[in-house]
Structure 1
Amino acid sequence: MSAPAPAEKGYQPLLVVIDPAARRSDGESVRIAKDVLCARSCGSVKICLPDGPEEFARALQRRGSRRPVVVGDDRALLRAVSVLHRERELASSVLSLIPVGTLNQLAQALGVPSGTVAAASAVLDGEARQLDLLVDDSDGVVLGDLRIPALPAAAHGPDPWWAPPLRTCQSLVRTLVRPSPAASPGPSRLRVEVDGVTLVDLDQPVEDVSVATSRGGFARIEVRPTSVGAAAPALRARARSVTVSGPDFRYRADALTAGPVRTRTWTVRAGAWALTLPR
């Protein structure tokens, strides 16, 4: 007997991995997602309830022939792609996502329905779309875009947007040290190279660097130089790789903040992963 055609996704067994944060934040949406998948899927559905990132990764690694369905927010999707990328199984997998949680901007930008029933229906009735990926030189992945902002305010100024949730420790320090007036964020001095060509060098302070995947296996790069008086025009380029170097800098990739680093290279992998989206 021949195997079902790839288009008959409804007959393919599913592994539904429910992120613990989704269960905590919106248990009712999780229940609805399970009910829709179990009621409408023509194949078997295995539900996995990992307690943390390690169990989440093990569930994906042991999925066998089951198609992975992630129930969670942007961070859960990024975790799933990262696991499959590290296992070198991303190219042979088709991921599905049912957004549940508070951080779903990336899912919406990718075209995943925001409603639980609509997203679960897309898992069964949708089609796989090949998407580009940014991979850095530490084997990290970026699904949407990344930003390198200006340097944060001075240590005693307001908390920068990338600061970890250390409110208790910060409160203790502030009772012992009188903070100085808040300082404004300052410009960064970075070298930005696109496909080996320097777009901006260390002698030109910049306020912001953004990188995002574009069509056709290219990244879209935009650098905003620091303006004095009249606004300086943004520098834009399309390239297959971008390298940023200079003094220690942090960057925000998708929903996560990384660094500090002194140099990092991101390379576009065209059609590196597949996500089920509505037809």
Structure 2
Amino acid sequence: MATFATPDQLLVVIDPVARRMDGEAVRIAKDVLSAGAASTKVCLPEDSEEFARVLARRGSRRPVVIGDDRALVRAVSLLHRRRELAECALSLVPVGGALSLARSLGVPAGTVAAARAVLDGAQRRMDLLVDESDGVVLGALRIPSAPTGREESGAVAEESGAVTGAPAHPWLRTCQSLVRTLVPALPLRPVQPAPGPAGPTRLRIEVDGETLVDLDQPVEAVSVTADGSGVAAVEVRPVSVGAEASPLLARGRRVTVSGADFRYRADAVVSGPVRKRTWTVWEGSWGLTLPVGADE
């Protein structure tokens, strides 16, 4: 059941990544929230520890996070571990680079629209996937978690010390050219090609105690999503031989994955490797303020 937000006392927590990436959007969000709320307290944490302290000391103020998907997941994780999600509705003004989770949850993409939704929207209760270590998943869980080509290329370039992309300034390009001319014999460490997609994985996947796929059947991909009905939707794509194999589908409140060491992507964060992990659906355990009608 949705409950309507009111322009009350707000605690506006501005993620440092948002401040660095788009200071103008942050300023606009602050102006809209300050103009519409009874009172606004703005906090500028510099790291995750300060972020946690600010959120823990919110008092009766309603927390509003200005940041990206990672900032939202961080806030939900902190409140979950403190067992305060039931009494605290979060709001988000999305600013930053990774915003696909925010969009999938129904948060407006525009800064002004998102800030107005904080003031005039309604709280929507949502399901949460929680593992045995109190890790949370707001959106989708995916196995395996092979990074994208862009992430892999960046990691390899960083390890090799090679410069990828054009220099930011013309004078830097000139200096690099001069160094290459004066020191022609200097060995350069080549950037290794990024590895391809992850190969098949052998996993045992159980849904509410029933085995959906066992170790003898390699799989290409697994996804688990809390679909808002109090259960998780599970999709397993077996390795195809010849014709494309049909996905295996199941629904349940408890999903256990085990087998060889595997990594998994929970929302925007990659975790692992682990050999076994169980996720349980916590129905309606957290609230997010969305525009009126977004949950209809």
Given candidates 137, 156, 169, the residue that maps to 2:159 is: 169
Instruction: State the AA in 2 paired with 1:57.
Output: A
How far the C-alpha of 1:165 sits from its partner, in A, is 3.7
Aligned pairs for 1:1-279 within 5 A: 7=4, 9-10=6-7, 12-41=8-37, 43-149=38-144, 165=155, 167-171=157-161, 185-279=198-292
Q: Take 1:147 and 1:239, find their aligned partners in 2: how far apart are those partners?
A: 16
Distance change >3 Å, CA 61–CA 184, structure 1 → 2: closer
Distance change >3 Å, CA 149–CA 59, structure 1 → 2: same
Dislocated runs of 4+, deviation >6 Å? 175-181
Distance change >3 Å, CA 132–CA 162, structure 1 → 2: farther
Q: Which has the larger radius of gyration?
A: 2
CA offsets 1:238-268 (integer angstroms, 9 cap, x no match) = 1101000000000001000000000000000
Residue 162 of structure 1 contacts residue 257 of structure 1 at CA under 8 Å; is this kept in 2?
no
CA offsets 1:172-201 (integer angstroms, 9 cap, x no match) = 8xx779979966632100000000000000
Q: Take 1:162 and 1:269, find their aligned partners in 2: how far apart are those partners?
A: 34
Distance change >3 Å, CA 200–CA 131, structure 1 → 2: same
Structure 2: 5+ residue runs without aligned partners?
163-187
TM-score, normalised to structure 1, is 0.88
Distance change >3 Å, CA 196–CA 71, structure 1 → 2: same
**Secondary structure at the residue paired with 2:79?**
helix
Considering Cα pairs closer than 8 Å and 6+ residues apart, tell me whether 1 or 2 has the greater RCO: 2
CA offsets 1:1-24 (integer angstroms, 9 cap, x no match) = xxxxx84611x2100000000000
Q: Take 2:11 and 2:268, find their aligned partners in 1: how far apart are those partners?
A: 24
How far the C-alpha of 1:161 sits from its partner, in A, is 5.4
Instruction: State the AA in 2 paired with 1:95.
Output: L
Instruction: State the AA in 2 paired with 1:217.
Output: G
Instruction: State the AA in 1 paired with 2:96.
Output: G
Instruction: State the AA in 2 paired with 1:116.
Output: T
Q: Take 2:84 and 2:138, find their aligned partners in 1: how far apart are those partners?
A: 16
Q: Percent identity?
A: 62
Instruction: State the AA in 2 paired with 1:237.
Output: A
**Secondary structure at the residue paired with 1:9?**
coil
Distance change >3 Å, CA 64–CA 202, structure 1 → 2: same
Residue 94 of structure 1 contacts residue 276 of structure 1 at CA under 8 Å; is this kept in 2?
yes
Q: Take 2:49 and 2:156, find their aligned partners in 1: how far apart are those partners?
A: 24
How far the C-alpha of 1:230 sits from its partner, in A, is 1.1
Structure 1: 5+ residue runs without aligned partners?
1-5
TM-score, normalised to structure 2, is 0.83
Residue 5 of structure 2 contacts residue 122 of structure 2 at CA under 8 Å; is this kept in 1?
no
